[in-house]
Structure 1
Amino acid sequence: MSLPSGTVVASTGILQGSSQGYVIAILSAILLAFTAIIIRALTEYYHLPTFVLAFWRAALVALVLLPLLLLFKPEWASLRREQVAFYAGYGLLLALFNGLWTLSVALNGASVATILTYCSVGFTVFLGWVMYSERLSLRELLVIVISLGGCFLVSNGDSMGNSRFDMLGLLVGMLSGIGYTLYTLGGRIATERRYPVWNTILYVFGFSAVYQWLFNSLLAFFPIQAFQGMTGSLWFLSQGVQGIQWSGWLLLLTLAAGPTLLGFGLYNISLKTLPLAVANLILSLELVFTAVVAYFLLGENMNQLQLLGSALVMGGVLMLRKTT
């Protein structure tokens, strides 16, 4: 997912090239930081099943974006024949990544799953080197190690040795990290093909919603123990004794239109000017921003190790900025 010609605001004397990419990537991380907050509210207060939430998150992105494109930029709403196979595959990749992430959280817990997912930075470095000759200096590799250490601490990685951490969980978690890397790589491929970023977002999330609907339906007919309680009716928020839960639908719409649509869109735009590993690493700031938002909105406090981890992640990004 990427931004080709004419989609990025023209560079000025203040923000040009990679500098613009850094600002856009950081804004993306800030927006994405609200994802976990909203998802927590939907799952804890509304008890929305995970795969139902995943479906509406993807579907509402497409439903919100389509009329906007038809109104302001109708040519970006068109789907060309040569794009269908790529978008269908990219959408499947996004749906599988979300499924692997969900399963990893179920097997490992949120902290360990997050740590394993952000190992994607290492995979991204490798792919960037192999496919795009994005050779990183020793200093940049050191920054990646420091920042990953910060992710580890922010995510309460010191509790990694719990009984829920097993080999299957490790495998699924690492696969989710690889899936995240491939998602980033797909963005770079879309950039090279000069697909408009919002055209890509529209159809990748549209296809992903279809796959999520299929996953939810199949798991309803053929239940798997690991996914128990994660599937349900797509109209969950409009059923039950409480009737239609409008506040829940509003939160879903906010999740789709804000953190998801704008967050992923800006991240894909940043891939136009930033190397794969750099964009991925900056996005790890999401962990820090999420912790800050959770502190003010949910009253969640960070311990000393988490504060240290936050400083490492922030410092790593600042060090990385000085290398370019």
Structure 2
Amino acid sequence: MSQQLKGYITALIGIIVWSTTGIFMSHLITVYHIPAFVLALWRNLLVCIVLFPILLFMNRTLLRIKRNDLSLYHWYGFVLALLNTLWALSVQANGAAVATVLVYSSAGFTAIFAIWVFKERLGIIKGIAILLSLTGCVMVSNAYDGAVWSLNPLGVITGILSGVVFAIYTLMGKETARRGINTWNALFYSFTLGSIWITLFNLWPGMPGSTGSYMRLWPELPLNGWLILFMLSFVPTLLGFGLYNTSMNYLSASIANLLATLEPAMTAVQAYIFLDERMSVVQIIGSCIIILAVFVVQVEKEPKLEHKQQPA
């Protein structure tokens, strides 16, 4: 199996799992009325709680950090905190399907940032794929309708910002792969530091979605609510993030991000089934365009990436 094919398969499995994120989040917000920032905090915390003993007993070397990587970990955690809080706010304001689509407006930003940071080549085929993915995102989110921007400015702003931040997150994941940092090591410390940052966000009074007090950080959930929160943390978050980050050992940042644009279509189908969210004809066409962009990007030949062996 080629390095590129291995990257495609790993990314696609991660994206299928990851596509359930918006469904879990929307259910917790609408049914149990958990604040967006509290949801983001506990999503991160539970990942750390379950991952620490696994790494400790299976391979404790994965808990080690190189001193020259401390700055990268710090900013990686900060960016992840921004991504998770913005995404939670967007789900609250837009619903699962639209919020997920808006995250993937990041494709264009990722390609531009990758040219600047990693000197990646932006060929004609990749450029067409980016244009297709962004067009599909606009159609699915109804962003072409001016009324949507005037009626729901918080939803549009948080949705677009989540796309920008996701692009930065993708590039930082690419940097950890370039440095030979183990995926699970990066995942654990980014979520740990991200939890600290989200706690600080929660204590910021007046910020939309925050609690403004440490007394309200513990979510008042019944047993069923806690079960769903655990599922959100362990299934799409832990497994999805891990597989997606692993794929960037084999794929360029912009390719990985374009493959991830499959998620909105998957989430939209699940939202239709489980949340009774309906898609218009335009949104269905937009979803098809997004999927087309994913296949178009595979036409482009990727340069071989030097894969550094991860600690076993």
Instruction: Tell me whether the two structures share a fold, i.e. TM-score over 0.5.
Output: yes
Select the residue among 48, 54, 57 that pairs with 1:62.
48
CA 1:264–1:127 in 2, change beyond 3 Å: closer, same or farther? same
The one-letter amino acid of 2:242's match is: G
Select the residue among 29, 51, 57 that pairs with 1:43.
29
Unaligned ranges ≥5, structure 2: 302-312
Select the residue among 155, 163, 183 that pairs with 2:169.
183
Distance 1:251 1:19 in 2: 33
The answer on 1:267 being equivalent to 2:253 is no
- CA shift digits 1:193-225 (9 cap, x unpaired): 111100010010001011111211x23xx334x
The answer on 1:312 being equivalent to 2:289 is yes
Q: Any conservation in 1 of the 2:11–2:260 contact (CA below 8 Å)?
A: yes
Select the residue among 57, 61, 64 that pairs with 1:75.
61
The one-letter amino acid of 1:233's match is: R
Q: Which residue does the alignment assign to 2:119?
A: 133
The answer on 1:164 being equivalent to 2:151 is yes
The answer on 1:194 being equivalent to 2:177 is no
The one-letter amino acid of 1:164's match is: L
Q: How does 1:115-126 map to 2 (within 5 A)?
A: 116-126=102-112
Tell me by how many angstroms 1:103 deviates: 5.2
Q: Which residue does the alignment assign to 1:152?
A: 138
Q: Does the residue aligned with 2:20 lie in a helix, a strand or coil?
A: helix
Tell me by how many angstroms 1:97 deviates: 2.8
Q: Any conservation in 1 of the 2:206–2:212 contact (CA below 8 Å)?
A: no
Q: Does the residue aligned with 1:130 lie in a helix, a strand or coil?
A: helix
CA 1:317–1:230 in 2, change beyond 3 Å: closer, same or farther? farther
CA 1:300–1:43 in 2, change beyond 3 Å: closer, same or farther? same
Tell me by how many angstroms 1:284 deviates: 1.2
CA 1:186–1:58 in 2, change beyond 3 Å: closer, same or farther? same
Q: Any conservation in 1 of the 2:10–2:246 contact (CA below 8 Å)?
A: yes
Q: Any conservation in 1 of the 2:97–2:268 contact (CA below 8 Å)?
A: no
CA 1:256–1:101 in 2, change beyond 3 Å: closer, same or farther? closer
- CA shift digits 1:13-67 (9 cap, x unpaired): xx32111111111112111110011011111111111111110000111111111
Select the residue among 207, 219, 239 that pairs with 1:236.
219
| Paired residue total | 299
The one-letter amino acid of 2:136's match is: G
Q: Which residue does the alignment assign to 1:32?
A: 18
Q: Which residue does the alignment assign to 1:9?
A: none
Unaligned ranges ≥5, structure 1: 1-14, 239-244
TM normalised by structure 2 equals 0.86
- Give the percent of matched residue pairs that are identical in Structure 1 and Structure 2: 38
- CA shift digits 1:44-100 (9 cap, x unpaired): 111111111110000111111111111222211233433333212211121123334
Higher relative contact order (CA 8 A, sep 6+): 1
Select the residue among 169, 191, 206 that pairs with 1:223.
206
Tell me by how many angstroms 1:303 deviates: 2.2
Q: Does the residue aligned with 1:136 lie in a helix, a strand or coil?
A: coil
Distance 1:71 1:160 in 2: 54
Q: Does the residue aligned with 1:19 lie in a helix, a strand or coil?
A: helix
Select the residue among 258, 275, 281 that pairs with 1:281.
258
CA 1:230–1:141 in 2, change beyond 3 Å: closer, same or farther? farther
Distance 1:296 1:104 in 2: 20
The one-letter amino acid of 2:231's match is: T
Distance 2:210 2:174 in 1: 36
TM normalised by structure 1 equals 0.83
Superposition RMSD in Å: 2.6
Q: Which residue does the alignment assign to 1:246?
A: 223
Distance 1:165 1:44 in 2: 17
Q: Which residue does the alignment assign to 1:90?
A: 76
The one-letter amino acid of 1:309's match is: G
